[in-house]
Each structure stands twice: as C-alpha cells, then as structure tokens.
Structure 1
Amino acid sequence: MQYAHEAFSSIAVLAKRWPLVIFFYPGSQETASPGERGAVSPDERRAVAWMRCEAELATMGYELIGVSAQSPIEQARFASRDPLPYMLFSDPKLKLAELLGLPTSGAGHERVYDPLTLVVRKEQIARVFHPVHPVNERSQVMSWIRNVESQ
C-alpha cells in the first residue's frame, strides 16, 4: 500500500480477523549484481527466512506481514526476486513508526525501520522482538508463539 494510513488500517482490519506476525525491515537498496547468482541483501535473506515459517504460522492461525520504508515500486522489485507467500506493506514516511513508537535509524530521507518483529494477538501488540538477530529471530518468535498457543 502506498499510504501508511491505508497500511495501518489494513493491518488493523487483519488484526481483527487473525493474530499477526509483523516483521519490519529497513528495505535496503543492496541487491545482487546480475552475475552474482544467489547473492542477496540482508533484507532479502530475512524475508526468505520468514517465508520458511509462513506455513507453520498459517497452521496456527497467524498471518505474516512484512513492512518497510521502501516505496511500493521498490517493494514490488524486492518481492519479484523471490515471490513471497505473505503481504508486504510500504511505509516510506514511517507513519507506523510514529503511531506505534517503533525504532528507526538514519535521518531525513535515509530514515528506515530498525529490524524488529511484532506479534499481535486479540488486536493488541502482545510481544515486541527488538533488537533481532537474523540467525535466531524466527526461532525465538516461533518458540514464543508456540508457548503462548499451548497455554
């Protein structure tokens, strides 16, 4: 979605229907050059790693969403390299960061989301994972969700 208020209201609508896992990523411009087969940016590696969790999340009733400060066009390019089984929301003005008090880095037009993950249950933010480490982020989030769901 191009406008953050649309993304926010879409996320709010989704949160009424399902619990959500929302991962925020900077949306770096780093990409592989044409000859670098398999070389990807840290954001792409993280998105692909989340893709591997999507089926289990769906089985538990969770919807997975990615959010970045990238423009919709940049996100479309990003998603076209590896078709993603979840939604991406564009928030180039970081309005969600302002509304929710989320951490960001940089200044001015270079401002981006810090990598973090929110778990939303019953229309409330149930858990914030920040800072996140790319190697164990998903296992920490999935472990927390499994624990909560088993109670």
Structure 2
Amino acid sequence: MSTELTTGDAAPEFELLDQHGNLVNSKDLRGQKTVLFVYPGAMTPGCTKEACDFRDNTAHLEALGYRVIGLSKDAVEKQLKFSERDSLNYPLLSDPQLELHRKLGAYGPKKLYGKLVEGVIRSTFVIDENWVIEHALRNVKATGHVARIVKLLEAA
C-alpha cells in the first residue's frame, strides 16, 4: 500500500544498503537536512541526467545545509556501476522490495507514454534535521528538476 506523504509528515524510517553495501539507517541521518530523490532506474537516460545534475549541484546543496541521497529499486551492484560510471558523489540506496518507495508514495499508478502503468514515480523529498518532510515533489521531470530544488531551498 502506498501513502502520499506531504509537508509536515514524518519521513519514514528505513534500513537499506547503499551502492557500497553499507547499511544506511534513517535514524543515523537525523540531525542533518536531506534531499532524497527517487529515480526509476539506474543508468537510464533520464535518471542519468537527473543524477548527474544532483552530482553537479551537491556542493551548492551542501552549502545550503542539505546532503543528497538517491534511491531506486536497483540492486546494490547496479547502483555501484551507476555511481562509478557517472562519478556520483553521494549515496545511492537500493530498495529492491520497494518498501521505502511505497512508504514515500513514490510507487504506484503513473502515466508512461500515455498508458496507465504501475511503477516508480520520480519524486524528491526535502527532509529536515528532525526527519520531517519540508517538501514532497512527485512526478518531477528529470531535466531542470535540480535547479527547481535549489531555487526552492535558496528561497527558504
């Protein structure tokens, strides 16, 4: 069952592996603001564009007080290939069972090439240091999305 989390909701707790096989626990992430972006598939054209855009803006986001974390259903090994191929400078979490995706409301019905399908919904969640959602953005475009996030955080 998917939930649509929104501003002011508690972000879900999780324990997932990153691209290096390290266990990442949401409880350990408290205390620092986080930009968690959910992408449909590692090494696909749109996801590569978005991931590289986050890579290129990581320093700016960190200067604003936010760390970047990516999330997809891809296996750890594919996440590692993606990270190495594109020199991604932040953790990529692997959620093959789609548990966190569903908790975030980032998996469910969506339109793909005009057809209604079930799948990963490209989304970004801005989470504060107390693990509360500041912004929940769904059905975002891969291109230009990071600039929108930066502008949103700069205005805060």
Q: TM-score, normalised by structure 1?
A: 0.76
Which residue, 124, 130, 150 being the options, matches 2:132? Answer: 124
User: In the alignment, is the contact (CA less than 8 A) between 1:27 and 1:68 conserved in 2?
Assistant: yes
Name whichever structure is richer in strand by fraction: 2
Question: In the comparison of the two structures, how many residue pairs are matched?
Answer: 131
Q: CA deviation at 1:102?
A: 2.6
Partner of 2:52: 48
Provide structure 1 residue ranges, at least 5 long, that are not aligned to the other structure.
Answer: 31-40
Q: Is the 8 A contact 1:97 1:104 kept in 2?
A: no
Q: CA offset at residue 143 of structure 1?
A: 1.1
What is the root-mean-square deviation in Å for CA atoms of aligned residues?
2.4
What's the TM-score, normalizing by structure 2?
0.74
Secondary structure, counterpart of 1:7 in structure 2 = strand
* SS of the residue 1:17 aligns to: coil
Q: Which residue of 2 aligns with 1:133?
A: 141
Q: More helix per residue: 1 or 2?
A: 1
Q: Which runs of 5+ in 2 are unaligned?
A: 1-12, 18-23, 111-116
**Identity, % of aligned pairs?**
25
Quick check: 1:21–1:63 contact (8 Å CA) kept in 2?
A: yes
1:66 is aligned to 2:73: no
Are residues 105 and 53 of structure 1, via their aligned partners in 2, closer, same or farther at CA, if it must alter by over 3 Å? Answer: farther
